[in-house]
C-alpha cells in the first residue's frame, strides 16, 4: 500500500523549509490511472540584511552567518492499521488507576489449652504422686508451674511408664528450675529399675544437680531405657547414670563440677550409648574421670547437623572397651582439653570391635591450648581399629610438643570423598604422627600439617607410616606437610602410588630426608608434587625414583613444583624416565639462591616433546637441563603447548595459582577425561591466549573442568576458550567471578549428565561478558545451565553474543538468583523438543535488557515458561533511534511466555512496534502474510513507544495487568489491557522491536525488483504497471537476498511491506527530495551604493542537492520564487528598493518577481540519482539595489525565497 510522506526542516536566520505535497491515499489506492500528477517539494529561504549608513561612504551590513547544510529531511510515516479491530486513533488509554483493596490475614491467638494427657504441677509432692500412680492412668506430660525442690525419698517410677517433664509453664512462658535433693544415695533420686522399654524426657528447664547418680537414675542392670535431655541447662556432679541404656543430649548445656554438691563430681554420664542432637555444650572439669564412662560395645553417635562443644581435661570415653563412633553428615565436635598436666586420648578404640566413621561435612576439632608434653592420641586404638573418614574433617591444634603418642594409632586409615586432616603443632614432634598397622589410603582427600619446630627431631621414624609390606596409596587428594625442619621421611611403605593428587612438603630451613621411605617410588601419576625448603642436605636425590638405579621412575601427566634456597642434589633419579610421560607433565623449579646440580640424573633420558618446565633461580644456575623460568605462581608465558594423546587422565595444572598469557594450549584426545583440566585456588584466566580441548569421550569428574576452588575471579581477555566433549558431568569453570572480555567461548557436547553433577557451564557467583565476546553452547541432545540459577547473583552480557542450543532442556539455560543484564547484546536461547512442564529457559530475580536482540525459541517444546521472574523488575529498553533492540518470544506449548512469582513485576517495554501472535510458526512458514498478528501496537510517528505496567502471571493466578505508561498510538492497542497477554493459550509468539531495514532496486519497464532483507524474511511488493496497482510476495534467502518478479514497472515509487522477526515495516524503493541545501546566503559588508548595484555572495560556493532514487524514467524540475519583499525587520523603517536576481550560466540576470516561479533546472535521462547544482559567488541567487536612497543605516532587511521541486513523471 502506498504511503503518504510528510517531511519538514526547520532552519534559522535565512531559513529554508521543505514541504512535500504529494498525492493522498485515495490517489494511491483508487486513482491508479492518474499516474502523472505532479508532486511539488518547496523550500523557503529568508534573506536578511544589516543596518544602512550614509550614501557615499557608509556600508550595507548583511548577516554573515556561516552556511549550514542539512541532510535530507526527516520523514514522518503513517502506517495503516493491521489489527482486525483497531480502536479510534483519537482515543486515549483508560485510566489504569483504581481503588486498591488490601486483604490481610489476621492471626488470632487462642488461649493455650492443655491436652488431655498434660498437666501442670507446682510441687514435688504433686509430681511424685502423679508419676508413682502412672499419671492416674492419664497423664504423660508434666509442666512445671513453679520452681520445684526435690524431697527425700525421691520418686519411684512404675514399670513400663514413660513420661516427659517440661520446665516451661505453657500458660506463662516462664522457664522453671528443678533443684535435686541434696544427697549422694540413689534412694533420693527419681529412679527406675525394671527392664521394660521406657523413655524419659526432661526438657525446657534448668536443673541444679546434687546427686551424682543423675537426675533420673537407672539401675545398672536395667537396659532398654532412653533418657532424653532436650533444651536443658544442668549444673551438678553428674547428669546421667544409665549404664546399659541410651542418653540423648539435644540442644542442652551441661556443666560438671565447679561447685559444692551433695556428692562428688564424676563424669557427665555413666551410659552405654550416647547420642548428640542439635547444639550441645559440655564443660567437664573433673581431672579424674573421663567425660563419659562406658561399658563394652558402646557407641557415640553425632547426629546429622549436630554441633557439640566439649571442654574436658580428660577424653570422651574410657579405655579397654570396644567403641563405635559415628559422625553423621555435617555434625561437629569441638573438643578442648585444657589440661596442663597431660591429657587422655580424645577417643579410645582399643577393643577389637571398635570403629571410627565420619560422613561428609562432619568435623572433629581438637584444641590442646597448653604447652605440655604428656599428650595422648586423638584416636588411640593400639593398631586395633579401622578409621574411615568419608568426607569428614579432623583439625588438631596443640601449643606444646607431641612427644609420647602417635596422634592416630590405628589398624588402617582411609580418607576419601573430601576428607581432611589438619594438624598444627607449635613445637616439635618426636614420634610418628599417624601410626598404622596395615594400610593408608587417600582418595579425594586432604592432609595438612604445620609443625613449628622439627619433624623427627633426633629420630628417624616416619611421620606417616604403615608396615613395609603395604603400599601408600594417594589419589585425587592433597597432602600439605609443613615444618621448620624435616629430618625424617614423611611416608613409609613398600611403595608409593600417587594418582591425581597434590602432595606438598615444606621445610622453612632444612629438609634432611627424602619425604618417601619406600623401596620403589614407582608412580607419580596425574599429580602435583611440591617440595619447599631452605636447603636440601641428603646425598640422595630430591625426588626419589627408587632406592637403586635399576628401577624406573614413572612420571605421568604430573606437575612437580620445587622451591628452595639452595638445591645441591639431583632432582629426579632412576634408570629410565619415559619420554611419553614427560611430554604431558609440568615441572616448576624455583630457587631463591643457587641450583648447582643436574636437573635429571638417570641412566637413560628419552627425547622429551612439548614439555613445559618453569624454573626461577635468584642465584647461580648451572645444571644441564633447564628449559624455562617461572615465579611461585604457575605462569605460562609465550608457551606453545600441543598435546595429542589417546587419553587424558591428568590435570594440566593443580596448585595455588595459575595464569596463562600469550600462549596456545591445544589438547586433543580420545576417550574420557577423569580429572579436572585445571585445578587451583586462584585461576586468573587467559590473556591473549587460546585454550582448546576436544575429545570424542566424556568429561566425567564431579569437579569442574577448570576448578577454581579458591573462589576467586577468573578473566578471559582477548582469548579463545573452546571445549568439545561427548558428555559433560560437571561445570566447565568454577570460580567466584568469571569475566570474558573480547573472548570467544565455544562449548560443544552431545549432552550433559544430570545424574552425576549439576549441569553448569560456568559455576560462578558473578558472570560478565564484554566487548564483542561470543559465547556458544550447543548440545545435540540434553543441555545445561550457562550459570547456576540458584547461586549466581549477577549476570552481565554487554556488547556481546550468547547462543545456547539444546535439543532438550530441563533446567534454565541462563539463570541467576540475582540480576540478569543484557546491554547491546545478542542473545539466542532455543530448544525444540523439551518435555519439562515445570522448566523455564531464562530465570532471574531481575532482568534488564537495553539495546539488545533477545530471541527465546522453545519450538514445540513443552515448558512452563520461556522467562521466569522471581523478583519484581523486567525491562526491555531502547535508548536511541539507531540502536538495535528486539525481543522475540516463541513458544507453542508453554504455559506462559513470561512467568512471575506471587508478586507483581514492574515491566517496561520499549520499541517501535509490538505484535502478538496466536498461531505458531517460524517467519519463513508464514507464506503470503496469511497469518496476521492477533494484536499489534505501534507509534504513528515512528518514535519509540513505551509501555509500562505491573504484571502478575504466577503459577496459580490468572494474568493481571495494571498499566502506568502507554504512549503508543494508532493501530492495535490503545487500551492494551484488553489485548496484551503472556498466557501461552492466547499468545504463541510475542515480538517487540524495530522494523528491519530493506533495500530494493528497480527500473521502469523492467520485470524484477531485487533487494536485501533479513534472512528468510518476507517482502510484499506493491507497484504500478500500466497504471494498475499490483502486488507480489518475495522471500529472502539465507543471505537475505530476494527477487520479486513483476509485470512491467511504471516510473513510480515502489512500496515494500516487509515481515521479519515478526515485525512489519513499510518502505519505498525511492523518493524525490532535497538533499544538501543552503541555510543562509551571506552577502558580506559593502558600501551603500549610489547607483544600481548587484552584490555577490561571500564565503564558499553555494551548493544545492536533488536526490531522486526512484525507478528510472521518473523526472523533476526545480523552480525558485520570491515570496516576500525586501523588508526591514528591526524597526519601523520603510522597505528598501532592492530585488533578488538569478544569474544563469550565461551571466544573464533574471529578476525574481514576487510570487512568480522561475525554472532554473530540469532532469533528463542522464541525470544521476544525486544531482548537485553548484554556483560561484557571482552566480545563482544575487542581491541587487537600485540605489542607496531607500536604505536606512539602522535597518536590517530580509527577503524570503522559495525553491519548488516538482515531480514530472
| Phi-psi category of residue 195: left, alpha or beta, with phi > 0 → left and psi -120 to 50 → alpha | alpha
Dihedral pair phi/psi, residue 444, rounded to 5°: 50, 45
CATH number of the domain at 999-1068, please? Answer: 2.60.40
More confident residue, 563 or 1174: 1174
How far lies 822's CA from each of 761, 828, 851, 1178, in Å? Answer: 19, 12, 8, 57
* Residue 538 scores a pLDDT above 80: no
**pLDDT band, very low/low/confident/very high, at 309 (cuts 50, 70, 90):** very high
C-alpha cell, 592: 631463591
Per-residue pLDDT at 463? 62
Contact 618, 591 (CB under 8 A): yes
Contact 233, 204 (CB under 8 A): no
Spatial CA neighbour of 541 closest among 623, 634, 454 = 623
Contact 945, 970 (CB under 8 A): no
d(CA 782, CA 759): 10
Element (H, E) at 651: none
Dihedral pair phi/psi, residue 627, rounded to 5°: -115, -35
Contact 325, 356 (CB under 8 A): yes
C-alpha cell, 5: 510522506
C-alpha cell, 664: 596456545
Q: What is the pLDDT of residues 99-136, one digit of tens each?
A: 433 333 333 444 568 999 999 999 999 999 999 999 99
* Residue 855 scores a pLDDT above 60: yes
H/E/C letters for each residue in 565-633? EEECCCCEEEEEECHHHHCCCEEEEEEEEEECCCCEEEEEECCCCCCEEEEEECCCECCCCCCCCCCCC
d(CA 11, CA 73): 11
Per-residue pLDDT at 75? 32
Statement: the pTM of the whole predicted model exceeds 0.75: no
Range with the poorest average pLDDT among 661-675, 706-720, 793-807, 922-936: 922-936
C-alpha cell, 926: 508464514
Kindly state the average pLDDT of the residues 1150-1156. Answer: 89
Contact 1153, 1115 (CB under 8 A): no
CATH number of the domain at 5-73+1075-1207, please? Answer: 2.60.40
Query: CA geometry: angle at 546 spanning 543 and 552, to 5°?
Result: 100
Contact 604, 579 (CB under 8 A): no
Which segments within 198-331 are labelled E, that is strand? 198-208, 216-218, 223-236, 240-250, 253-256, 269-277, 279-284, 292-293, 298-302, 307-312, 323-327
Q: What is the pLDDT of residues 987-1006, one digit of tens each?
A: 889 999 888 778 777 766 67
* Residue 549 scores a pLDDT above 80: no
**pLDDT band, very low/low/confident/very high, at 620 (cuts 50, 70, 90):** very low
H/E/C letters for each residue in 866-895? EEEEEEEEEEEECCCCCCCCEEEEECCEEE
Q: What is the pLDDT of residues 942-987, one digit of tens each?
A: 677 888 888 898 877 778 888 888 877 554 455 666 678 899 888 8
Half-sphere exposure of 116 (CA within 13 A, CB side): 2
C-alpha cell, 947: 509501555
SS3 187: helix
**pLDDT band, very low/low/confident/very high, at 21 (cuts 50, 70, 90):** very low
Radius of gyration of the chain (CA): 45
How far lies 635's CA from each of 240, 606, 619, 639, 1044, in Å? Answer: 61, 26, 20, 10, 60
d(CA 1154, CA 781): 79
d(CA 478, CA 447): 6
d(CA 410, CA 388): 11
Spatial CA neighbour of 653 closest among 588, 718, 711 = 588
d(CA 730, CA 785): 11
Dihedral pair phi/psi, residue 93, rounded to 5°: -60, 145
* Residue 84 scores a pLDDT above 90: no
* Domain segments of the chain as ranges: 5-73+1075-1207, 116-293, 330-347+361-514, 519-535+542-632, 999-1068
Q: What is the pLDDT of residues 799-851, one digit of tens each?
A: 999 998 888 888 888 887 789 999 999 999 998 888 878 888 999 999 999 99
Dihedral pair phi/psi, residue 186, rounded to 5°: -70, -20
Q: What is the pLDDT of residues 421-472, one digit of tens each?
A: 888 877 655 556 777 767 788 888 888 887 765 554 433 445 666 555 567 7
Q: What is the pLDDT of residues 462-478, one digit of tens each?
A: 566 655 556 778 888 88
**pLDDT band, very low/low/confident/very high, at 26 (cuts 50, 70, 90):** very low
**pLDDT band, very low/low/confident/very high, at 159 (cuts 50, 70, 90):** very high
Contact 994, 1061 (CB under 8 A): no
Contact 400, 373 (CB under 8 A): yes
DSSP assignment of 1134-1184? PPPSEEEEEE-TTS-EEEE-BT--EEEEE--TT--SEEEEEE-TTSEEEEE
Range with the poorest average pLDDT among 244-253, 428-437, 624-633, 1176-1185: 624-633
Half-sphere exposure of 216 (CA within 13 A, CB side): 27
d(CA 888, CA 909): 12
SS3 924: helix
Amino acid at each position: 500500500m502506498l504511503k503518504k510522506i510528510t517531511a519538514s526542516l526547520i532552519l534559522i536566520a535565512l531559513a529554508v523549509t521543505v514541504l512535500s505535497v504529494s498525492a493522498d491515499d485515495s490517489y494511491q489506492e483508487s486513482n491508479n490511472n492518474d499516474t502523472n500528477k505532479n508532486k511539488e517539494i518547496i523550500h523557503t529561504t529568508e534573506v536578511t540584511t544589516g543596518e544602512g549608513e550614509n550614501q557615499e561612504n557608509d556600508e550595507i551590513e548583511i548577516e554573515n552567518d556561516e552556511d549550514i547544510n542539512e541532510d535530507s529531511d526527516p520523514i514522518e510515516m503513517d502506517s495503516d492499521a493491521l489489527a482486525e479491530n483497531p480502536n479510534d486513533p483519537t482515543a486515549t488509554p483508560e485510566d489504569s488507576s483504581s481503588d486498591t483493596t488490601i486483604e490481610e490475614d489476621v492471626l488470632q491467638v487462642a488461649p493455650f489449652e492443655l491436652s488431655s494427657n498434660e498437666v501442670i504441677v507446682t510441687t514435688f509432692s504433686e509430681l511424685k504422686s502423679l508419676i508413682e500412680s502412672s499419671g492416674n492412668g492419664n497423664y504423660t506430660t508434666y509442666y512445671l508451674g513453679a520452681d520445684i525442690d526435690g524431697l527425700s525419698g525421691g520418686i519411684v517410677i512404675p514399670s513400663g511408664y514413660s513420661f516427659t517433664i517440661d520446665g516451661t509453664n505453657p500458660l506463662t512462658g516462664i522457664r522453671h528450675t528443678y533443684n535435686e535433693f541434696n544427697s549422694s544415695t540413689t534412694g533420693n533420686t527419681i529412679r527406675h529399675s525394671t527392664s521394660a522399654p521406657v523413655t524419659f524426657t526432661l526438657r525446657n528447664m534448668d536443673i541444679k544437680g546434687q546427686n551424682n547418680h543423675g537426675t533420673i537414675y537407672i539401675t545398672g542392670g536395667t537396659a532398654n531405657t532412653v533418657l532424653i535431655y532436650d533444651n536443658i541447662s544442668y549444673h551438678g556432679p553428674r547428669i546421667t547414670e544409665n549404664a546399659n541404656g541410651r542418653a540423648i543430649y539435644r540442644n542442652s548445656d551441661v556443666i560438671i563440677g565447679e561447685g559444692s554438691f551433695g556428692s562428688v563430681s564424676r563424669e557427665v554420664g555413666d551410659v552405654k550409648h550416647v547420642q548428640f542432637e542439635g547444639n550441645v555444650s559440655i564443660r567437664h572439669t573433673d581431672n579424674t574421670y573421663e567425660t563419659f564412662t562406658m561399658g563394652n560395645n558402646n557407641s557415640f553417635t553425632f547426629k546429622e547437623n549436630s554441633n557439640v562443644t566439649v571442654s574436658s581435661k580428660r577424653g570422651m570415653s574410657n579405655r579397654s572397651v570396644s567403641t563405635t563412633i559415628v559422625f553423621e553428615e555435617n555434625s561437629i565436635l569441638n573438643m578442648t582439653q585444657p589440661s596442663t598436666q597431660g591429657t587422655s586420648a580424645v577417643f579410645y578404640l582399643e577393643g577389637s570391635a571398635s570403629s571410627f566413621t565420619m560422613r561428609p561435612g562432619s568435623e572433629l576439632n581438637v584444641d590442646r591450648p597448653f604447652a605440655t608434653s604428656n599428650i595422648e592420641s586423638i584416636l588411640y586404638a593400639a593398631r586395633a581399629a579401622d578409621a574411615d573418614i568419608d568426607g569428614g574433617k579432623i583439625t588438631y591444634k596443640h601449643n606444646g610438643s607431641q612427644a609420647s603418642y602417635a596422634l592416630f594409632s590405628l589398624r588402617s586409615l582411609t580418607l576419601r570423598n573430601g576428607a581432611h586432616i589438619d594438624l598444627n603443632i607449635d613445637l616439635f614432634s618426636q614420634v610418628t604422627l599417624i601410626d598404622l598397622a596395615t594400610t593408608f589410603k587417600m582418595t579425594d582427600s586432604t592432609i595438612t600439617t604445620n609443625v613449628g619446630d622439627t619433624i623427627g627431631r633426633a629420630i628417624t621414624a616416619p611421620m606417616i607410616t604403615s608396615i613395609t609390606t603395604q603400599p601408600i596409596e594417594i589419589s585425587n587428594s592433597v597432602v600439605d606437610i609443613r615444618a621448620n625442619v624435616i629430618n625424617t621421611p614423611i611416608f613409609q611403605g613398600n611403595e608409593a602410588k600417587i594418582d591425581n593428587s597434590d602432595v606438598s612438603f615444606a621445610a622453612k630451613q632444612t629438609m634432611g630426608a627424602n619425604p618417601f621411605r619406600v623401596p620403589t617410588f614407582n608412580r607419580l601419576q596425574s599429580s602435583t608434587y611440591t617440595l619447599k625448603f631452605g636447603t636440601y642436605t641428603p646425598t640422595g636425590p630430591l625426588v626419589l625414583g627408587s632406592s637403586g638405579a635399576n628401577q624406573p621412575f614413572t612420571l605421568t601427566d604430573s606437575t612437580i613444583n620445587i622451591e628452595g634456597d639452595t638445591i645441591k642434589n639431583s632432582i629426579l633419579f632412576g634408570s629410565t624416565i619415559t619420554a611419553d610421560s614427560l611430554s604431558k607433565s609440568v615441572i616448576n623449579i624455583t630457587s631463591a639462591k643457587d641450583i648447582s646440580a643436574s636437573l635429571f640424573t638417570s641412566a637413560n633420558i628419552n627425547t622429551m616433546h612439548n614439555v613445559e618446565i618453569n624454573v626461577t633461580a635468584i642465584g647461580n644456575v648451572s645444571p644441564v637441563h633447564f628449559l624455562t623460568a617461572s615465579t611461585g605462581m604457575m605462569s605460562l608465558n609465550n608457551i606453545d603447548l600441543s598435546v595429542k594423546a589417546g587419553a587424558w587422565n591428568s590435570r594440566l595444572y593443580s596448585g595455588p595459582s595459575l595464569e596463562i598469557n600469550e600462549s596456545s594450549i591445544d589438547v586433543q584426545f580420545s576417550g574420557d577425561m577423569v580429572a579436572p583440566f585445571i585445578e587451583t585456588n586462584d585461576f586468573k584466566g587467559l590473556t591473549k591466549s587460546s585454550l582448546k580441548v576436544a575429545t570424542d569421550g566424556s568429561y566425567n569428574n564431579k569437579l569442574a573442568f577448570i576448578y577454581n576452588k579458591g573462589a576467586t575471579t577468573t578473566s578471559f581477555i582477548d582469548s579463545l576458550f573452546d571445549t568439545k566433549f561427548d558428555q559433560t558431568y560437571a561445570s566447565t569453570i568454577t570460580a567466584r567471578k568469571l569475566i570474558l572480555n573480547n573472548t570467544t567461548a565455544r562449548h560443544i557436547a552431545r549432552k550433559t549428565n544430570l545424574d552425576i553433577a549439576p549441569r553448569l557451564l560456568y559455576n560462578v557467583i558473578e558472570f560478565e561478558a564484554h566487548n564483542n565476546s561470543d559465547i556458544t553452547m550447543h548440545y545435540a541432545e540434553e543441555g545445561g545451565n550457562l550459570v547456576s540459577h540458584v547461586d549466581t547473583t549477577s549476570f552481565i552480557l554487554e556488547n556481546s553474543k550468547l547462543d545456547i542450543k539444546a535439543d532438550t532442556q530441563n533446567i534454565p539455560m541462563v539463570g541467576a538468583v540475582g540480576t540478569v543484564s543484557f546491554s547491546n547484546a545478542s542473545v539466542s536461547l532455543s530448544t525444540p523438543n523439551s518435555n519439562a512442564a515445570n522448566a523455564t529457559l531464562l530465570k532471574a530475580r531481575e532482568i534488564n535488557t537495553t539495546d539488545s536482540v533477545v530471541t527465546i525459541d522453545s519450538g514445540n517444546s513443552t515448558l512452563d515458561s520461556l522467562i521466569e521472574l522471581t523478583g519484581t523488575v523486567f525491562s526491555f529498553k531502547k535508548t536511541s533511534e539507531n540502536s538495535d533492540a528486539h525481543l522475540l518470544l516463541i513458544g507453542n506449548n508453554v504455559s506462559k511466555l513470561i512467568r512471575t512469582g506471587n508478586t507483581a513485576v514492574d515491566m517496561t517495554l520499549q520499541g517501535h512496534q509490538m505484535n502478538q501472535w496466536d498461531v505458531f510458526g517460524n517467519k519463513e512458514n508464514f507464506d503470503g502474510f496469511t497469518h496476521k498478528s492477533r494484536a499489534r501496537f505501534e507509534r504513528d510517528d515512528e518514535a519509540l513507544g513505551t509501555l509500562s505496567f505491573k504484571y502478575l502471571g504466577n503459577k496459580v493466578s490468572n494474568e493481571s495487568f495494571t498499566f502506568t505508561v502507554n504512549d503508543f498510538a494508532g493501530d492495535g492497542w490503545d487500551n492494551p489491557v484488553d489485548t496484551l497477554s503472556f498466557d501461552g493459550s492466547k499468545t504463541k509468539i510475542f515480538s517487540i522491536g524495530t522494523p528491519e531495514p530493506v533495500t530494493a532496486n528497480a527500473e521502469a519497464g523492467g520485470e524484477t525488483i531485487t533487494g536485501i532483507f533479513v534472512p528468510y524474511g518476507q517482502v510484499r511488493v506493491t507497484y504500478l504497471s500500466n497504471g494498475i496497482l499490483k502486488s507480489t510476495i518475495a522471500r529472502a534467502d539465507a543471505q537475505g537476498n530476494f527477487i520479486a518478479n513483476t509485470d512491467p514497472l511504471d516510473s513510480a515509487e515502489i512500496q515494500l511491506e516487509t515481515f521479519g522477526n515478526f515485525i512489519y515495516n513499510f518502505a519505498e524503493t525511492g523518493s524525490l527530495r532535497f538533499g544538501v541545501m543552503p541555510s543562509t546566503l551571506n552577502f558580506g559588508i559593502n558600501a551603500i551604493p549610489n547607483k544600481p548595484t548587484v552584490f555577490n555572495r561571500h564565503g564558499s560556493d553555494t551548493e544545492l542537492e536533488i536526490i531522486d532514487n526512484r525507478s528510472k524514467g521518473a523526472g523533476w524540475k526545480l523552480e525558485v520564487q520570491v515570496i516576500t519583499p525586501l523588508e526591514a525587520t528591526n524597526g519601523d523603517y520603510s522597505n528598501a528598493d532592492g530585488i533578488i536576481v538569478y544569474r544563469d550560466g550565461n551571466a544573464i540576470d533574471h529578476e525574481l518577481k514576487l510570487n512568480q516561479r522561475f525554472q532554473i533546472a530540469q532532469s533528463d535521462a542522464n541525470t544521476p540519482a544525486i544531482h548537485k547544482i553548484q554556483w560561484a559567488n557571482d552566480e545563482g541567487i544575487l542581491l541587487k539595489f537600485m540605489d542607496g536612497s531607500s536604505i536606512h543605516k539602522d535597518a536590517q532587511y530580509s527577503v524570503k525565497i522559495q525553491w519548488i521541486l516538482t515531480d514530472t513523471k
